[in-house]
Homo-oligomer: A and B are copies of this chain.
């Protein structure tokens, strides 16, 4: 069809490219490459959804010199559109512009064609789009007594003719208003079509008179503690509002196990918790809709992720089975259902999609984080860790993926720590300890300056320094270790009490005084160090089990890691992972050795993955396939867990080398290659038995 003299066109962000005869419309070129370019009006130049931007310049790698004038001159259609609506300078309508030379074409996601206000891009990541719900404008032939096809059947025929759409099934609510809508729109209507699975029949959700040019979707990460929700345009792909709110189920139990217990102990408890979370989601939907000036009736699609207990409770499923071996999920596969079945008031026919769960303790949130970070799309081996009270761990690359969860307990979230608290104003979040003076300085949430800056005392007196949050605990323990206050084995060195008043006796052990104030003295106790050791040893042992398995052929059981397994990247996800300093996580041995600049906090990866599944149905198929081939490891069943756990009680680890860390951070008791030097053995209080806290039944996340 095309030869080497035809212009070469590259579409971003997908990177697909091809040669096309001069005069080919950009939208036709994109479609022939399988690049989704939104269009509601089907090339009539009235919806403005197919806007593109030409990236000018020489792209040596692609052998393309792209210039705006390699497109046809601005057409009458585009001028007409720009007069009626907004068409930013440099933007073209791909249905009206034709290819006349080499081009690099960008599909932007910040189009404002309607009243909905795009305040700011909440998520700036750009990825190819192809939403499961689309708006398709059609002109329908008027009724003809000689060919008495029904009005709906002529709509379907127009959809097939203009959009190559197979005959859809139809939402019953469409039928009563159909004839009125067609006549009101003078036989021009816009159909909202749900078409998640390409091989399924499409479904007609709604029909509007004339051109309907906006439809929205929400992506929701239901965490045990916090629900995060974002609102995106299904047409532009822009995420236009986002909000977070506490999960109201907290009143039934702080952690997952206590919520499962609540269900087991209280008839109606499951229904109460389901109602609570659904009502919270509905309230958040109304918040973001109001903020973005969007009608909730224009929200037509939703994607939900959450850990297995959250996932089940949201669906109205009793999570009791998840609280006891064999931790059987009611369903693990992805689920599509009407949003109304979840008691959500959106468009009455809105759809909902839940990502698959990976295993009994590795939920749809971990699947979404995987989708977002994409270890399965990489040649490099990535470790993805979502740290909560239950850590979800995914390890692998495009060839192989493994997943597990580790019962870290709530220490990383500030619970079980004597002066711990949730991340909130007044909480210490950053700590540095001078290795010579052993004096600390710290930063408090809500105060922009460090504790040794002038003016801190006044600010602190006004706000109050109330405790230490998760990232602060990790930092203070790591700094104590680096300063020699805490040994490799996690013991606060009482001998230092002679050197500094910061180290004080506390019964048979010692403590470190981080902050003294009239209201409250914040002290790190030996038991706090132990709590962090237990949590991080559980996390690290889980990671090690995955590394062990990764080093073995897929079909065999392995107990020891092959030293050839190299972790190229580490992604720390979730609220805790977003605030923790990767260097300290590695100093304490939460995660294995890795180049520090390749160990990154990735924020709410679960929410980002949910948004990807909302905006591109291909990502749904991708994560469904990926999850089905993930090898699941139940840490409770692995005999090597205990061995790894014991070694991981030490800072950073009794056995493993941290050569990459050692290059940028001197470590006590380590050689230049990051290998441990001979030291004391760890104390009895750090046995793995206590670390497992009675085994799986008592775990929580």
Contact = CB atoms under 8 A, between A and B. Distances in A.
B336 A169 contact: yes
Contact of A332 (B150, B329, B331, B636): B150
A666 interface: no
B176 A329 contact: no
Contacts of A153: 329, 331-333
B145 A176 contact: no
B145 A360 contact: yes
Contact of A326 (B143, B317, B358): B143
Contacts of A145: 325-327, 360, 634, 636-637
A331 B175 contact: yes
A172 B337 contact: yes
A331 B152 contact: yes
A439 interface: no
Interface in A126-175: 142-153, 156, 167, 169-170, 172, 175
Contacts of A151: 321, 328-331
A148 B357 CA distance: 9
A333 B179 contact: no
A318 interface: yes
A200 interface: yes
Contact of A175 (B197, B316, B332): B316
A325 B632 CA distance: 65
Contact of A179 (B147, B318, B337, B636): B318
Nearest to A332: B150
Given A170-B335, A337-B172, A179 B330 contact: yes
- Chain A's interface: helix, strand, loop or mixed, by majority? loop
A178 interface: yes
A179 B148 contact: no
A332 B176 CA distance: 14
A148 B327 contact: yes
A201 interface: yes
A150 B632 CA distance: 13
Interface in A331-363: 331-333, 335-338, 341, 357-360
Contacts of A331: 150-153, 170, 175, 178
Interface string A310-325: 0000011110010001
B148 A634 contact: yes
A325 B329 CA distance: 57
A151 B632 CA distance: 16
A359 B156 contact: no
Interface string A375-410: 000000000000000000000000000000000000
Contacts of A360: 145, 148
Nearest to A633: B146
Contact of A156 (B178, B325, B333, B637): B333
Contacts of A143: 321, 326-328
Nearest to A361: B148
A637 B329 contact: no
A129 B674 CA distance: 74
A170 B338 CA distance: 11
A170 B332 CA distance: 13
A153 B628 CA distance: 11
Interface residues of A, number: 52
Contacts of A178: 317, 330-331
A634 to B, nearest CB: 4
A327 B637 CA distance: 70
Contacts of A147: 632
Given A172-B341, A317-B176, A150 B330 contact: yes
A177 to B, nearest CB: 9
Nearest to A636: B145
A12 B139 CA distance: 50
A390 to B, nearest CB: 15
A167 B334 CA distance: 11
A185 to B, nearest CB: 15
A272 to B, nearest CB: 14
A335 to B, nearest CB: 7
B176 A316 contact: yes
A142 B327 CA distance: 11
B338 A172 contact: yes
Nearest to A340: B172
Contact of A330 (B152, B634, B636): B152
Contacts of A637: 145-146
A356 to B, nearest CB: 9
A328 B149 CA distance: 8
Interface string A499-511: 0000000000000
A276 B328 CA distance: 47
A12 B379 CA distance: 60
A337 B168 CA distance: 12
A641 to B, nearest CB: 13
Nearest to A337: B172
A326 B316 CA distance: 49
Nearest to A144: B326
A672 to B, nearest CB: 41
Given A144-B326, A318-B176, A328-B143, A150 B634 contact: no
A268 B636 CA distance: 63
Given A316-B176, A335-B170, A328 B200 contact: no
A619 B147 CA distance: 24
Given A143-B326, A145-B360, A146-B637, 6 more contacts: A145-B634, A146-B632, A153-B329, A169-B336, A170-B331, A178-B330
The 8 closest A-B pairs by CB, nearest first: A150-B332, A143-B328, A152-B331, A150-B329, A148-B359, A150-B331, A172-B341, A145-B634
Interface of A: 142-153, 156, 167, 169-170, 172, 175-176, 178-180, 197, 200-201, 315-318, 321, 325-333, 335-338, 341, 357-360, 632, 634, 636-637
14 contacts: A143-B327, A145-B360, A145-B637, A148-B328, A148-B332, A148-B632, A149-B332, A150-B329, A151-B329, A152-B331, A172-B337, A175-B331, A179-B330, A197-B201
